[in-house]
A and B are shown apart, each in its own frame.
Chain A
Amino acid sequence: MLLLMVGLLSLLQAPWVYAGDEERKLEAVFIGRFASYIDWPDKDRERERFVITLLDDNPFGKLLDDLYRDKRIHNKPIELRYANKLEQVGETDVLFITLRNAAARLAATEFAHKNGILTISEAKGFAESGGIIQLDFVEQKTRIKINHAAAVKSGLKIGAPLLSIATVLRGDKP
């Protein structure tokens, strides 16, 4: 009976990112790796944990929890939070946005600017409309677009190694 229960649980339990879902794995990795190249100069932000918040749908299943369980960013352990609405986003260092509506994304980026939060999304036009890092997948390769002005506006400094591999928007032009 125990075997049966284990089997049924394995059949119905939410996984997941399956083995070949490279996009999802790379997105999960990039969230933390990007953060490691960002400098948050605001000393008032000192928190014991480095906080990453997902806003709206969670496409990663348990992958982020599994990946970041034993990781540290800026020498801090990582706390993952999941929010369905902007109002649920509290203090956070990184906001990964999966909102589908442009207006909702804009509200989230404005919130992030005011609170010195790194915003990341794969929504088209995200960087141009005030988001800081946009992930694109073009012909099965990852591309990074960074709105440097938005980062400055949020009080963030982006390290040169990250800028060197990205398309950098200064103002609203690439």
Chain B
Amino acid sequence: MKHFCCALLPLAIGTAFAADKTIQETNDYYSRPLDQLLQIETQAKAAVGSRGGERDALDAEVPIDIITSAQLQSTGQTELIRALAVLVPGFNAPRPSIADGTDHAPPFTLRGLNPDQVLVLINGKRLHQSSLLHNNGTVGRGSSGVDLNTISLRAIERVEVLRDGAAAQYGSDAIAGIINIILKGYGQSSQATVSYGRTRAGDGINKQVSVFHTLPLAGDGFVNLTAEWRDRGPSNRAGPDAYDGGRRNTHFGDADTQDGLFVLNAELPRGDTTLYAHGLYDKRRSSAGAFYRRADDERNLSTIYPNGFLPLIEPKILDFSMTGGARGILDSGTRWDVSYTHGHNDYHFYVNDSLNTSLGSATPTSFDSGATRYTQQILNLDLSRKIGRHTLSGGYEFRQEHYRIDKGDAASYMLGAENNYAYGAQGFPGFSPENEVSAKRQAHSLYGDLKYSVSDRLMLDSAARAEHYSDFGSALNGKLALRYRATEDLLFRTSASTGFRAPSLSQSHFSSTGTYRNSNDAAAQFWGNYAVDHPVARALGATDLKPEKSRHFTLGLVYQPAAQLTASADVFVTDIEDRIMPTGYIAGYSLSSLSSQAAAVLAQNNIDGAVYFTNAIGTRTRGFDLRLDYKHDLGNGAKLKFVGAYQRSKTNINTINQAPAVLGVNMTDLILDPFTKVMMEGGQPIDAIKLWSKYSTRDYDVVVNLNRFGKFSSVQAYDKVTFSARWTVDGELAYRVAKDVTLALGGVNLFNVKPEKWGNTDDSLVGLGKVIQYSQYAPFGYNGSYYYLRLAVDF
């Protein structure tokens, strides 16, 4: 008892002391001039993770980072994915190159987990994923994620990053966390922005023009429109090709990408009801090279390309979503929100400057290689009511998804008579009629959430969500979180939850097969990716995919000794079972112990080898996050703001499922080749430091951003290669030329830091002094310095 009393005493004293401090600060504010009070920065709010409306991010029971529009803008980036990679620790977005479709809609990861294990919301409503399946050796291999670059940076008010599992509240995908993008809403001013930038090497020219216009409506309603045109020129860091006379014949760098973006966000209040709508639209054209085909390559026709050729993969991507709904409050105090969301992604592959070698001189050089399409529709009803100090929430959601693959033109996939092996469009062979699919599924969800306020200090949050999917069945998940405010300064928070990720339709139904012909064969041979319900995949042991199941635990504290200073620390553990991955290449010559039964299946179907998705492994991701926020009013309108963050996470494979018995191989041989294992456990930076600081006066702002990207690994010739950590420095000076005109000059990676190069290798393309000298997993790319000018005019 004595010890217990002793433990409570400091808390009591601390409480009394902290209460005095709050009164002192409030008294201080009371004595200040009114105009100074308007300059005080209030605490960040977050809507994510709560159905009871916005609450203070630092007072939440789970860790939430808030990225403001000013921070996003000060990065100098024009694409959201790159801006977040600069600002959010644990958010990794390398620059894929020579990775087919992935070059044009790059993936991102959070805490080292896949893009489809991060739920992305727009104004709290689920945003659809891209139809693109990242099918090459990039981060996020085997997943379909949200294409964040379809959202104009200029339309964003803030980004909320919830660093915890939340599938019990939001359903599938919220395993690594949630990114909730809040569009600019009430009280904004219109702004036009023009920016221009280029790399130190002179390429990667980036031109951007945007207009954000706000139209106030009655009752503090608004219609906000953002239009943006963005032209990101290509960069190229390919080295000379010693086998081609030292020519730099390959493109290894950023794709040449143009985006036309449009964003709508509107609210129309009517008494206790508010009608709302928001929408995104992005039309993108992009171009990037495949591997170069030298003049003497068997896949080249020297009559068409005497010096060889670089096939260009040039997709046209259309992505849009629209949400409309109404929310309000009943006389009883019950809040309600009903909405409908329609999202669509159309990823259409075109290949130019190429050929179909097997067609001989009759080949076209441009191809329509087909398309993948994904549509998502969501009907949602949320209810929430405060009962005393407690909040009870619940709702229902219906979701329908539709995934399609459309075939390309015949020349893009066919095997002609002129060459037995080089079929289809070189660079990206088209989808064939056998690959076409139209798959749908529906999901019904019921969920509830109780925030039970034991006292003003102690809050208990419990959530449960039951779902039924038409393809794999049901899922039930729960969450229990606890927030305890020990003193006014000190908050402890912890949560434990379960979660899941429904197998994406692309993982279940993606199919991409090619053909070749041995001279002695009577029939053509097939190879490639097969959907899990394809008869060949079934015969090779494929089953319907099960959902990935996860368990989460976080424990942390927030210490806020003053309104100007906040420190937080959180540890986390995320276990995921039945992670869905593509198998290795199932063929007799690649799997030495492949059963005779499986070999017979391949032979009977004229298949060289096959790949399909399966529930393969379990992983544990552990780590911790540290944050420090400091702001200081220096007087005379000068302010200093500092945000520091450190994140460390490590993923380990801890369980390996049984391989299908019919194959006669173990799962390690089937799935975990050295490349896959290293990419899963070490392919992303083990840690990250972000030190963002801003000094502001009435006339100008200076932003300095210091980043440390931790070490990461890859594989070369079955050997693990580790690339060391790197520091980069970004800086921006924004000068207010006039009251409404700001000119900014900045640089990203000011000291032209490059990632460590590959060492000496036996590979003909990858290695020191060769065509590809950098790892495409380098977390800050390999462009080097980038400088920019930006002019913003408020109107």
Bound-complex Cα distance A10 to B26 (A): 21
A33 touches B30 (CB 8 A): yes
Tell me how far the C-beta of A18 lies from the nearest C-beta in chain B, rounded to whole angstroms. 5
Cβ of B665 under 8 Å from chain A: no
Tell me which residues from 14 to 45 in chain B have a Cβ below 8 Å from any Cβ of chain A. Answer: 15-16, 18-19, 21-23, 25-27, 29-30, 34-35, 37-45
Closest CB of chain A to B515's CB: distance in Å? 57
Q: Return 16 A-B CB contacts under 8 Å, by A number.
A: A1-B5, A10-B8, A14-B456, A23-B42, A25-B22, A28-B26, A29-B37, A30-B37, A101-B331, A102-B272, A103-B272, A124-B220, A124-B269, A125-B220, A141-B38, A141-B39
Q: Contact between B30 and A10 (Cβ–Cβ < 8 Å)?
A: no
In this assembly, does A93 line the interface, its C-beta being within 8 Å of a C-beta of chain B? Answer: no
B389, closest chain A residue (CB)? A14
Task: Tell me, yes or no, whether B455 is within 8 Å of chain A by CB.
Answer: yes
Which of A16, A136, A162 is within 8 Å of B456, CB to CB?
Answer: A16
The reply to whether A18 and B485 contact each other, CB–CB distance below 8 Å, is yes
A20/B30 in contact, CB under 8 A: no
Determine if B488 and A63 form an interchain contact, defined as CB atoms under 8 angstroms apart: no
B218 and A136: CB pair below 8 A?
no
Task: List, in ascending order, chain B residues with CB within 8 A of A129's CB.
Answer: 219
Interface residues of B in 184-224 (CB under 8 A from A): 186-188, 216, 218-220
Q: Is the CB of B43 within 8 A of A20?
A: yes
Q: Which of A1, A13, A20, A66 is the one whose CB lies under 8 Å from B566? A: A20
Q: Is B40 in contact with A142, judged by CB distance below 8 angstroms?
A: yes
Produce 1/0 per residue, B442-469, CB < 8 A to A. Answer: 0000000000000111100000000000
Question: Are B561's CB and A19's CB within 8 A?
Answer: yes
Question: Which residues does chain A contribute within 8 Å of B1, judged by CB atoms?
Answer: 4
Interface residues of A in 121-170 (CB under 8 A from B): 124-125, 128-129, 136-144, 161-162, 165
Contact partners of B563 in chain A: CB under 8 A = 19-20, 22, 25
Cβ contact within 8 Å between A71 and B29:
no
A165 interface neighbour in B38, B45, B269, Cβ under 8 Å = B38
Chain A, residue nearest B187 (CB): A138
Query: What would 12 more interface pairs be, CB under 8 Å, given A22-B42, A101-B329, A124-B220?
Result: A13-B456, A15-B457, A16-B19, A28-B26, A32-B30, A33-B34, A66-B26, A100-B333, A125-B219, A138-B187, A139-B69, A141-B41
Inside 8 A of A67's CB, which chain B residues have their CB? 23, 26-27, 30
A18 touches B8 (CB 8 A): no
Question: Considering only CB atoms and an 8 Å cut-off, how many residues of chain B contact the other chain?
Answer: 65
B634 is an interface residue with CB less than 8 A from chain A? no
A residues less than 8 Å from B39 (CB atoms): 141
Query: Is there an interface contact between A19 and B37, defined as CB atoms closer than 8 Å?
Result: no
Task: Please give me the residue from chain B that is nearest to A100 by CB atom.
Answer: B329
| B245 interfacial by beta-carbon distance below 8 Å | no
Least Cβ distance of B135 to chain A in Å? Answer: 41
The minimal Cβ–Cβ distance linking A84 to chain B, given in whole angstroms, is 13
A10-B485 CB under 8 A given contacts A103-B272, A125-B269: no
Tell yes or no: B9 within 8 A of A by CB: yes
Nearest-CB residue, chain B, relative to A104: B331
| Complex CA distance for A136 and B42, rounded to whole angstroms | 11
Q: Looking at the complex, which one of B59, B455, B491, B560 makes contact with A12 (CB distance below 8 Å)? A: B455
Contact of B157 among A61, A139, A141, A174 (CB under 8 A): A139
Taken residue by residue from 306 to 349, chain B's Cβ proximity to chain A (1 for < 8 Å, 0 otherwise) reads as 00000000000000000000000101010000000000000000
B718 within 8 A of A: no
- Residues 49-70 of chain B, each 1 if its beta carbon lies under 8 Å from chain A, else 0: 0000000101100000000110
Whether the pair B12, A29 counts as a contact (CB closer than 8 A) is no
Q: How far is the CB of B26 from chain A (nearest CB, A)?
A: 5
Is B11 interfacial (CB 8 A cutoff)? yes
Shortest C-beta distance, A70 to chain B (Å), equals 9
Whether A144 and B38, one on each chain, are in contact in the complex, defined by CB atoms closer than 8 angstroms, is: yes
Residue picked from B188, B485, B488, B561, most chain A C-beta under 10 Å: B488
| CB nearest neighbor in A for B485 | A18
Instruction: Give bound CA distance, A125 to B270, whole Å.
Output: 10
A9 CA to B158 CA, complexed, in Å: 39
